[in-house]
Amino acid sequence: MTAPGDRDPGLQPERTRLAWRRTTLTWVVVAVLAVRGVLDAGRLGRPGALALGAGAVALIGFLAVAHRRIAAMSAPRPVVLTPAGAVAAAVCTLALAAFAVTVVT
């Protein structure tokens, strides 16, 4: 246990945890739009299903990174985000963009 005095009075870990939380929420909203895009135009053939699967993997990947960071934020002095974590988060977002390209064209 740590003394309450160890916590940053500016609540930086909490703010960072909430930043991850709202980013995952944004991700889910865009993912719902993506699913709607695939289903809407009746484009759910084999390519549509493959794209949906890839999108789901990207979402799960992002949620995994977010989950780790959110767990890290419970420490009074959280460890710093690693480049691997940042790259993983961005790569999942890029995968969503690639998925989006297949849906809108």
Partner 1 sequence: MRSVSDLVRSLRLWFSPGRVRDEGETPDYRFSLANERTFLAWIRTALALIGGGFAVDQFLPDLRWGVRAGLALALIGTGAVCAVRAVDHWVRCERAMRRGEDLPGSRFPALLAVMVAVVSVVMVVIVALGDA
Q: Which residues contribute to the site for partner 1 (CB under 8 A)?
A: 8, 10, 12-13, 15-16, 19-20, 22-23, 26-27, 29-30, 33-34, 36-37, 40, 69, 77-78, 80-84, 86-87, 89-90, 93-94, 96-98, 100-101, 103-105
End-to-end Cα distance, the chain: 54
For the chain, count helices (H), then strands (E).
Answer: 3, 0
Q: What is the DSSP letter of 2?
A: -
Q: Tell me the C-alpha distance between 77 and 7, whole Å.
A: 8
Rg (CA), the chain: 17
Closer residue to partner 1 (CB): 19 or 57 = 19
Burial class (CB in 10 A: 0-12, 13-18, 19+), 51: buried
Nearer to partner 1, 10 or 45 (CB): 10
Q: Least distance to partner 1 from the beta carbon of 52, Å?
A: 14
The CB-of-41 to partner 1 minimum distance in angstroms stands at 9
Shortest distance, CB of residue 1 to partner 1, whole angstroms? 19
> CB-wise, 10 or 42, nearer to partner 1?
10
